[in-house]
Structure 1
């Protein structure tokens, strides 16, 4: 990509290191002291502001992260295998179109098998042989065109190595501008501006956009909430921001029943005077009555932790000012440990995701694939998480961190979607 299209990758639920935690605390102190008249703008959604447009990666997973699966059951869809909740839902709604295009990127051969576009993101599912060089592939420079014109975009690319040694991946393309409902997507190499593939893309699925048009301010931060759009694969919140000094600003989104939507990714573009952001959350099956937007800073997990061993009875672990996590049950079978637990307090998704296993020695257990909490049907705040390759339960501790968010109360807005 060109310089102004550069991608910055983020995992929205990973605990931040101590120096970032300190930076957040410093930012909070500055926010309390700084006068409103200060004109200089910093983009608070990322740690730095650029003169030209910056793009934050839309991938919930790191684009250079490769998982080796211990078990894989082919369900015939790369989207079902590698996708997040939204992409899997789109696949189940038959929004994907089959493609069979082989291309070579810097000597690495892959076959595009599926394409999906619902108005939010373009998804390209692909497979490759066991000789595929992931590192070399990620170093290759490519761009994308729509009907022959280069587009600005952000994106990511989860990749997994399968049991048979072959590879599969999903290229996620989030365009910065609105696209037509049908177009030809071109994949172009920077070397010689060579067209590597041209793929017909058609928008599928219904989407619903609700205008917000509500300004909000806190301290010297100003936000104009623009819209919420319910896509089949994601829920998109768009807003404009000015004089945003708060680093690592996050947003909690929940409906009238208290169900908190899982954050998937976010992207921003802007200049020193103003900027525009889009935050993406898990999709909704039905249109709720209301959606509440609740911005906060940090939620960094400090080095302190709380741990406990399962003794057959519910066990509550403090999570700092955010609330608590209560372990309700555990099940161990076929070297897999599944925990059932509830979160209470602020009900942040950070609380649900901040759970891991350690030995008595303090050694943290890192599975080949990072497990993700799954909300249990019929519950707003009860989850299950499964850790693979856990053969021994003896001296095994269940751990969580201290989650200390700082809510920006003046920026909280509730949107009526039934008007």
Structure 2
């Protein structure tokens, strides 16, 4: 059975494989070049207010999903959240993002408004909002160049393109100290329609052998802006904005030929749905799987058949290994469902190619669900 996925979803999976798996994956140069070309094209589009790309995200046309079953689990009252939303600029970056989970965080007040900034060369860069649901840390970043400082201007078309050499620390400790041995926690810079704003995001690798982030910590954000000599430094207070997240440990397993997939954990928050999977191969390494064009992606559906927006993901595999442990992050569920369904798939490539994707009539990349690997996991009554 085939179905079409958006190119955003496909690019998200590629970035997951290329950028965040510690093992060096021998993807072909043409795939890397195609990914980088697409990233630059979409960055330019975001700068001019056109189509917005967020890793593995559908554009901002869909309605906000509110996880009503766990509403009110934030650290502030609904009245206080409403008051915060009335303050100009508070959380606005999250509302603009194509990420339905961040929109839900904005709507429910599950974030902290900030006024942390640094200024050099007439350009000010500020962290205006931060959300942490125990799965991912998201920071809204905004740039301003006052009219009183006419010399201040970006050397590129958007903040996303201008922001480089990003380094993060937690309570003064390098972020990668929280990664498993040989691993790396790579932050992502996601554009929004306003070219002077972006969302910086990262997640721990606790499900892959790394350390969990503290519930409260100081985030040091060190970076440069193209054309500005001095580096920027923001000290951002972060604290857990959700409580009573739902965690399942289903250990559901499916096999098909030389592929074995196990779902180790499902985590539900008002901002994110996360699944942790363990992929085991026989007769092939993870690197060989990627380079042969047989990489595996996932769709996640609720009990009504609604497919959740994929947001991001990362994976860890030992060099030359045959096991890949990965986290795939999706938009939050509208309510706690009876069950969720995970549907693994392969991308469909053009004939005699492992880098050119086959498209449908609407220009969407085609995928093929893998027989025997679909899993339906009970949620209601299975909470630990």
User: Structure 2: how far apart are the matches of 1:48 and 1:161?
Assistant: 24
TM-score of the superposition, structure 2-length normalised?
0.62
**Is 1:149 aligned to residue 173 of structure 2?**
yes
Question: What is aligned with 2:6?
Answer: 13
User: Structure 2: how far apart are the matches of 1:204 and 1:167?
Assistant: 26
**Is 1:180 aligned to residue 180 of structure 2?**
no
TM-score of the superposition, structure 1-length normalised?
0.57
User: Structure 2: how far apart are the matches of 1:222 and 1:257?
Assistant: 26
Question: What is aligned with 1:132?
Answer: 154
Greater RCO, CA 8 A, separation 6+: 2
Question: What is aligned with 1:281?
Answer: 330
Q: From the superposition, tell whether residues 79 and 51 of structure 1 become closer, same or farther in structure 2 (CA, over 3 Å).
A: closer
Deviations 1:77-104 (A, max 9, x none): 1211224111000111101111111125
**Is 1:93 aligned to residue 108 of structure 2?**
yes
- The residue correspondences of 1:266-345 to structure 2 (distance < 5 A) are 266-271=313-318, 272-273=320-321, 274-299=323-348, 302=358, 305=361
Deviations 1:144-198 (A, max 9, x none): 1111211232332233564xxx7122112223341111111112359xxx88222
**Is 1:46 aligned to residue 26 of structure 2?**
no
Secondary structure of 2:249's counterpart equals strand
**Alignment equivalent of 2:266, drawn from 228, 247, 252:** 228
Question: What is aligned with 1:82?
Answer: 97
Secondary structure of 1:302's counterpart equals coil
Secondary structure of 1:69's counterpart equals coil
**Is 1:210 aligned to residue 248 of structure 2?**
yes
Question: How many equivalent pairs are there?
Answer: 278
Question: What is aligned with 1:337?
Answer: none
Question: What is aligned with 1:198?
Answer: 235
User: Structure 2: how far apart are the matches of 1:106 and 1:174?
Assistant: 32
Question: What is aligned with 1:257?
Answer: 304
Rg larger in structure: 1
Secondary structure of 1:87's counterpart equals helix
Q: Is the 8 A contact 2:144 2:196 kept in 1?
A: yes
Task: Using the TM superposition, give the Cα deviation of residue 47 of structure 1 relative to its aligned residue in structure 2, in angstroms.
Answer: 7.0
5+ residue gaps, structure 1: 1-11, 21-42, 55-60, 306-399
